[in-house]
Amino acid sequence: MALVNVTINGVQVQAENGALLIEVAKQNGIEIPAFCYYEGMSLQAACRMCLVEVEKAPKLMAGCTLPVAEGMVVRTESEPVVKARKTTLEFLLSNHPLDCPVCDKGGECELQDMTFKYGVGESRFTEIKQHVPEKQWSPVVFYDAPRCILCYRCVRVCNEGMGVGALGVSYRGVNAEIIPSNGDHLECDECGSCIDICPVGSLTSGIYRYKTRPWEMEHVGTVCTHCSNGCKTTLGVRNNEIVRGNNRDKSGINGEFLCVKGRYAFDFTQHPERLQTPLIRNAAGELEEASWSRALKLVAEKFKALAGPDFGVIGSTRTTNEENYLLQKFARTALGTASIDHHRTGDVVTLIDSLSGKTGQLATAEDLYTSKAVLVVASDLSQQQPLLANKIRANVRHHKAAVYTVTPGPVREDKIARKAIRIAEADSLAGVEQLREALSKEAELVIIYGDAIQGEKVRQLVAFGESLGIPVKYVALVDYANSRGALDMGLLPDLGPGYHATAPGRSLQQMLDDPKLAALWVVGSNPLKGGKSLASTNAFVVVQDLFLTETAQRADVVLPAASAYEKNGTVTNVCGQVQRLKKGIETVGSKADLAIIGLLARGMGVNLGKVDADAIFAEIAASVPGYNQLPMPVILTGGAVQTHPVNGGVPPSSVPGIIASARDTLFTTGSLTRYSKILNEVLEKPGALYS
């Protein structure tokens, strides 16, 4: 695009012809104040904060909608501009309840900041203010109309950002206010994006309300523990309690996006049923509280005695890479077993094998935002992969990306799709084939597929993609925060870290079904969920978990574990992007799984080397293909780095495992859901998600 010369405050700068003045100014270090302008969203020109002086224009112009042109001369701090700003703020404050002292937003309110920076000191308003009572729209969303400055950010983030469109504007003039989808309440994703984006304290969160003031919190940047998408989240911590999750600094792969789980469902950490002390099954057959030393001693002794090929180990989809790595290493070396597995939710393995010899064909989250076309196969993305869905929506909005869906039922992506094919999951590939002509005309493509595509079907899908004659990237969808890491770290019965062949052992199902199983060690998983039982009635069962799950109830020893928000380490998201977890709060009574593994090893007299997250990660980086050469500074500073694809093929599996996604919705997240009060509240009022 052609460059033009623009003079801003006497300084000549170059800018793309037609770029918005407010952006051009920002690029050149000049701030034009704005309430309604929000980068990446549709233009409003409503707040009039951004008025600037443009030479030859008869009146002040809105910088947020003004395209720059050759020779334009702009002043953003001249006397008329400053006066206009002051008066706009004065108008705004005239009807604004001055309840900053009790407002949640106090301290990080854009209206406060703006008033501090540009406003006048005193108020000339002496009339009676309009009062409207506050409304609760959902368990998480409250609306206080008098505080609302009608910037329409919430409406746009919900409509354009979330693709939900649950917020509107009604009435007019001074009575205008934001309204929720269903008359007096919201039926929506409950993502809280609207609350987060509100520049003032008009929309507030049911969880955070009146709990604290922003400056009383510590802010810890870590990664959401709920789904595989790996959103960066900043935990607001006060008195060792997480009171807020958001990503206002827009860092990480998710920008400011978080779904309901990431934003609110951290409350499981405080759940009263949270295990705080180890439990040992007593003579009467009941689980009884015990000290850590007694429990660890007992487990170490038993493990030593039962080590061998009939020992089963089930790992987790939420524990860190370091924990997973150490767990399989410990199992394979010290426990002498090959029976290691975890709850597999998507066929990453076959994808990696199908792409062997090729590079750069595993898509990142960012690719979904930039690719010219996206094909979604057999997945309800908005429900199950919220961030990926959000990326695609933004891509459509900003780059007019072409989206195609092949799904058994209606999905939200249909609304933005060029073509939406309705077909049974089993026939997905036939559905994909129908799109051949359209897809081959695209410049590039990302194919995302759910668990219905596994084994041979993955190979067929890749063959289809490779036959289109355009660059294609792939994402094999998995469910949980470290589902991908569990695979990469070799929590598999015949593949070690980096998908290296190892001696085969039992798969998860085979462990459950084998009456000869001598011991079962379950770390952060609930394989007996849904009334399943263990065929081996004699097996000694040890469970590490946060709660007394169905599996923990069967255990001989239960060791209380720390959650992802309570420890350091790394996790790998659905796109193979490695990110760092940072400890937000200290645990009471429970220990991180890494520490537990280390203590058990020590109890058994096994030397695992230095057991801390950094040391283990160094070992991973040194030994696990794909994890070598990751730029550490990026990860350490909270960035995400994609692992390198494993080149050279994955050995064919001799131990077929069952791959099944839990098909979580936006409001469920495996067993954690049950312990999140807020998710349960939201679930009690399920929303009509497809309007």
| Nearest distance in Å: CB 457, ligand FES | 50
Extract the tokens encoding 325. Answer: 């790595």
User: Contact letters (x/-) for another protein, 182-211, by CB under 8 A?
Assistant: xx----------------------------
Binder to another protein among 23, 28, 46, 135 (CB under 8 A)? 46
Gyration radius of the chain over CA positions: 27
| Nearest distance in Å: CB 681, another protein | 22
Distance CA 392, CA 379 (A): 14
Measuring CA to CA, which residue among 505, 69, 111 is closest to residue 314?
Answer: 505
| Nearest distance in Å: CB 51, another protein | 6
Tell me: does residue 2 bind another protein (CB under 8 A): no
Could you tell which of another protein, ligand FES, ligand SF4, none binds residue 148, using a CB distance below 5 to 8 A set by kind?
Answer: ligand SF4
Could you tell which of another protein, ligand SF4, ligand FES, none binds residue 620, using a CB distance below 5 to 8 A set by kind?
Answer: none
Tell me: does residue 127 bind another protein (CB under 8 A): yes
Footprint on residues 662-691 left by another protein (CB under 8 A): 691
Could you tell which of ligand FES, ligand SF4, another protein, none binds residue 168, using a CB distance below 5 to 8 A set by kind?
Answer: another protein
Extract the tokens encoding 580. Answer: 């760092």
DSSP 586-654: --SS-B-HHHHHHHHHHHHT------SHHHHHHHHHHHSTTTTT--HHHHHTT--EEPPPPPS--PPPS
Contacts with ligand FES by CB under 6 A lie at: 34-37, 45-50, 62, 64
Looking at the Cβ atoms of 150 and 495, the one nearer to ligand SF4 is 150
Tell me: does residue 624 bind another protein (CB under 8 A): no
In contact, 89 and 40? CB cutoff 8 Å: no
Tell me: does residue 488 bind ligand SF4 (CB under 6 A): no
Q: Which stretch binds ligand SF4 (CB under 6 A): 98-106, 162-170, 448-456, 677-685?
A: 162-170
Residue 245 CB-density burial (10 A; 0-12 exposed, 13-18 middle, 19+ buried): buried
Could you tell which of another protein, ligand FES, ligand SF4, none binds residue 50, using a CB distance below 5 to 8 A set by kind?
Answer: ligand FES
Looking at the Cβ atoms of 19 and 387, the one nearer to ligand SF4 is 387
Please tell me what DSSP assigns to residue 469. Answer: S
Kindly determine how many residues on this chain lie close enough to bind ligand SF4 according to the rule CB under 6 A.
41
Residue 246 forms beta bridges with which residues?
A: 234
Measuring CA to CA, which residue among 88, 105, 103 is closest to residue 33?
Answer: 88
Kind plus residue range of the DSSP H or E element containing 262? helix 260-264
Looking at the Cβ atoms of 137 and 565, the one nearer to another protein is 137
Could you tell which of another protein, ligand FES, ligand SF4, none binds residue 34, using a CB distance below 5 to 8 A set by kind?
Answer: ligand FES
Binder to another protein among 91, 239, 588, 656 (CB under 8 A)? 91
Residue 232: how many other CB atoms lie within 10 Å: 25
In contact, 178 and 74? CB cutoff 8 Å: no
DSSP 289-358: E--HHHHHHHHHHHHHHH-STTEEEE--SSS-HHHHHHHHHHHHHTS----EE--B-S-HHHHHHHTTT-
Distance CA 600, CA 610 (A): 14
* b/e per residue 536-553 (b: at least 16 CB within 10 A): beebbbbbbbbbbbbbbe
Looking at the Cβ atoms of 82 and 636, the one nearer to another protein is 82
Binder to ligand SF4 among 24, 203, 306, 445 (CB under 6 A)? 203
Looking at the Cβ atoms of 200 and 546, the one nearer to ligand SF4 is 200
| Nearest distance in Å: CB 180, another protein | 7
Is 155 strand, coil or helix?
helix
Q: Which stretch binds ligand SF4 (CB under 6 A): 78-86, 164-172, 416-424, 503-511?
A: 164-172
Extract the tokens encoding 684. Answer: 């009690």
User: Contact letters (x/-) for ligand SF4, 92-131, by CB under 6 A?
Assistant: ----------------------------------------
Q: Which long-range contacts (CB under 8 A, 24 or more apart) does 412-415 make?
A: 412/163, 412/380, 412/381, 412/382, 412/689, 412/690, 413/376, 413/381, 413/382, 413/389, 415/163
Tell me: does residue 45 bind another protein (CB under 8 A): yes
**Interaction site with another protein (CB under 8 A):** 43-49, 51, 58-60, 62, 65, 83-84, 86-88, 90-92, 94-95, 120, 122, 124-125, 127-128, 130, 149-150, 165-166, 168-176, 179-183, 691
**Interaction site with ligand SF4 (CB under 6 A):** 141, 148-154, 157-158, 162, 164, 166-167, 178, 186, 188-194, 197-200, 202-203, 224, 226-227, 229-231, 258-259, 261-262, 386-387
